[in-house]
Amino acid sequence: MSQEIILEDAGYLAALPGQKTLILSDEKKQNTFELGVSMIIYKWDTLNIAVDSKWGGPESEGKRDWLTAIIIDAFKENNEIDIIYIHEMLFNAMEDEFGVIVEDESTVVIGQKVVEIYKECLEGNFDHVHRMYEDWRSKQERRHKTEVVIKEDELNPDVSDVEEVVPDLVDEMDVDDDRDDRRDQRPVDDDGFTLVIRKKKH
């Protein structure tokens, strides 16, 4: 079970008068909110580790999109939501779908971010979501530029020619080949928090 979380601001949201759910009546606002939720989920380092490690099985990529969908659906189906509601939904989904116990409270941070962009979209402020999208798109473009193309040497099948397009920054990096040191380093997310992920034992 999730540990007790105490927040100064619960991030309570309620449907506007005359509306049965938290869905935004303006189509542009709703679409931007949904894009924002997707960007938040795609930047969630804890989830990305689980997806890249295939802890959710061969459908791990699809499960990430499913997490986005259940958050959006929660706003379409409920007239009240707060940060803890989103946290518990994500915490339980990570345990059920990826076998991961999230101990770094990143689920709370995700809940806070979702509530924040909902309020912004409600007010017609789309700047934050647009910045997240542009940042994500830039990273996708850089990823394509750094793809490795491996061509097998027909004369020597054991040797491959590797052609890489790598940013100039790589040349300035001091690469440490000590695997033990790397093993002791825990990943840190974009906000500077150390990620604490415990794989559930079956």
How many domains are there within the chain?
A: 1
Give the C-alpha separation, 198 to 107, whole Å: 14
pLDDT in the model for residue 199: 67
pLDDT band at 179 (very low <50, low <70, confident <90, very high): very low
Q: What is the pLDDT of residues 131-154, one digit of tens each?
A: 999 999 998 888 777 654 444 555
For the chain, what is the total number of helices (H) and then of strands (E)? 8, 6
pLDDT in the model for residue 188: 55
120, 128 contact by CB (below 8 A): yes
Q: Name which of 28-42, 43-57, 157-171 the model is least confident about.
A: 157-171
The residue range of the domain holding 71 is: 13-139+186-199
* Domain assignment of residue 5, yes or no: no
User: What is the pLDDT of the chain when averaged over all its residues?
Assistant: 81
* Domain assignment of residue 132, yes or no: yes
Type and span of the H or E element at 152: strand 148-152
Place of tokens 């679409």: 31
* Domain assignment of residue 128, yes or no: yes
* Domain assignment of residue 156, yes or no: no
* Domain assignment of residue 48, yes or no: yes
Give the C-alpha separation, 119 to 182, whole Å: 40
Q: What is the pLDDT of residues 99-122, one digit of tens each?
A: 999 999 999 999 999 999 999 999
* Domain assignment of residue 72, yes or no: yes
* Domain assignment of residue 88, yes or no: yes
